[in-house]
Amino acid sequence: MADLASRITKPSDAPAEDAVAPAPAATEGQGNGTEEPADDGVNKGLVETTYDVEVKLSDLQADQDSPLYSGVSSFEELGLPKSINDGLLAMNFKKPSKIQERALPLMISDPPTNMIAQSQSGTGKTAAFVLTVLSRVDLTKPTQPQALLLAPSRELARQIQGVIQTIGQFCDNLIVEAAIPGSISRETGVQASVVAGTPGTVMDLIRRRQFDVSQLKALVIDEADNMLDQQGMGDQCVRVKGMLPKTIQTLLFSATFPDKVMNFARKYAPNANEIKLRHTELTVKGISQMYMDCPDESKKYDILCKLYGLMTIGSSVIFVKTRDSASEIQRRMEADGHKVSALHGAHEGQNRDALLDDFRSGRSKVLITTNVLARGIDVSSVSMVINYDIPMKGFGDKEPDMETYLHRIGRTGRFGRVGVSISFVYDHKSYEALSKIADHYGLDLVQLRPDDWDATETKVQEVIKSSRARPDYAPNALDK
């Protein structure tokens, strides 16, 4: 068994840095009733101290080693139309990140070329593909669908819709619709130039002839490794693509592209330009990765409750394995006087939307969820992620889900912010799973001990206190 203990850092050298993660497959939240699809995330390495050192975004974007680095001084230099640049300015996006600077020129040039692009969590992949889509839309045909963006969950599809609307706020006549369960009227069908949806719903709309795909010019698959995975929504994505014009420009994006899906991705998006990360580049430096050594499973809940005060300094996401345990932990925590909410695939769609909107706005600060929210969700105030259950994959939970770990912890530490992840281990199996994740990504995980609560609080607080919102950061498009 890999030795987690050998990777423990002392309190004084605690701050962690990079992260990585692969991801499991998510469905549209219509999972099989208990366990929901996983996804990834990773971080690694410990940096010297500096939890409380405030690094400005402008400094990060000038650091060539940062994924936020930009060699150009503004978006204007990338040749985007003024209406789009105005939208970026309104969002306070001053300079592109590395993925935006590298991918955009390749994607917006003619003739259109396919793209397979990888970049760490929270580094601005959404804007990269949204800008491409907006540059291709003919606004004189506002109700003619011209671009389709697919995502693994209704929450992510809605978030992408919001980003398109925000960046495109000065594009006259731009109409963006979400194609998620219950969103498109049967009478009218799709009446938009840009559609962001989940594959099952999109497939149904096309089959029922409520979605005219004949003029589509661009297809974006976000979280593409997860979406194309045969155990996830690969089949649906293949069917959807089979119904689209053959000449469509296909853009695949994710923070993780495990080798096993790369071959398929290359078939799905033939002759694509590729931007890939090396293994060592997958981690996000701002995320301090820790683990909690729980004496046994029954103590996990008590330890979670003890962490509640730290969770509410900012906002927190608690990831658990099943819908049932999400609901059960919510019930117990509420009975114990804590304010928490739980969101998972068993909830009805509008309820899910309201729960996430509350979390985005800060009306709720602690969200218990499953892998359905592990990927893509961007809430800038999240300063802590808890892996109450270590993400596992395969039948019988035999192997850790490297990708899901990376994506889960990537819900914090977004675009230069800092955050903490705490993974709970309590027995040989969970300890070994986390050890494998640490070995895979070369992580130095900081150990937290439930019997030394002062040290735990100090280590966590050091990070979270410096994660406060700073004015040089652009707000998330949907955060209120």
Ligand X SMILES: Nc1ncnc2c1ncn2[C@@H]1O[C@H](COP(=O)(O)OP(=O)(O)OP(=O)(O)O)[C@@H](O)[C@H]1O
Q: Applying CB under 6 A, which residues contact ligand X?
A: 93, 95-97, 100, 119, 121-127, 255, 376, 378, 380, 410, 414-415, 474, 476-477
> How far apart are CB 180 and ligand X at their closest, in Å?
18
Cα(191)–Cα(210) distance, integer angstroms: 9
Q: List the structure tokens of 344.
A: 């998972």
Tell the smallest beta-carbon distance from residue 228 to ligand X (Å).
16
Q: How far is the CB of 89 from ligand X (least distance, A)?
A: 11
Phi-psi region for residue 63, left (φ > 0), alpha (ψ -120 to 50) or beta?
Answer: beta
Contact 114, 269 (CB under 8 A): yes
Q: Dig out the tokens for 202 from the structure.
A: 């999109």
Task: Specify the residue, 333 or 477, whose C-beta has the smaller distance to ligand X.
Answer: 477
CB of 80 to ligand X, least distance (A): 12
For ligand X, which is the closer residue by CB, 130 or 294?
Answer: 130
Q: How far apart are CA 186 and CA 233, in angstroms?
A: 24
How near is the Cβ of 215 to ligand X at its closest, in Å?
Answer: 27
Give the shortest CB-378-to-ligand X separation in angstroms: 4
In terms of Cα–Cα distance, which of 290, 281, 282, 284 is closest to 13? Answer: 290
Q: In what order do the strands lie in the sheet with 341-343?
A: 341-343, 366-369, 315-319, 382-387, 419-425, 287-293, 446-448
Let me know: does 119 contact 274? Beta carbons within 8 Å: no
| Element spanning 118, H or E | strand 115-118
For ligand X, give the closer residue by CB, 95 or 344.
95
Of residues 53 and 469, the one with the C-beta less far from ligand X: 469
Q: 3-state DSSP: the chain helix, strand, coil percent, rounded to 5?
A: 40, 15, 45
Give the closest residue to 224 by CA, choosing from 205, 246, 241: 241
Residue 72 CB, shortest distance to ligand X, in Å, is 11
Q: Give kind and range of the element (H or E) at residue 417.
A: none
State which residue, 24 or 376, has the beta carbon closest to ligand X: 376
Nearer to ligand X, 78 or 206 (CB): 78
Residue 455: how many CA atoms within 13 Å on its side-chain side?
A: 15
CB of 160 to ligand X, least distance (A): 9
| CA proximity to 317, closest of 413, 458, 431, 432 | 413
Position of tokens 């950061």?
A: 473
Type of residue found at 202: V
Q: Which is nearer to ligand X, 411 or 459 (CB)?
A: 411
In this complex, which beta carbon is closest to ligand X, that of residue 115 or of residue 477?
477
Structure tokens given for 148: 């389709």
Distance CA 221, CA 436 (A): 29
- Nearest distance from residue 34's CB to ligand X, in Å? 25
Closer CB to ligand X, 8 or 106, in the complex: 106
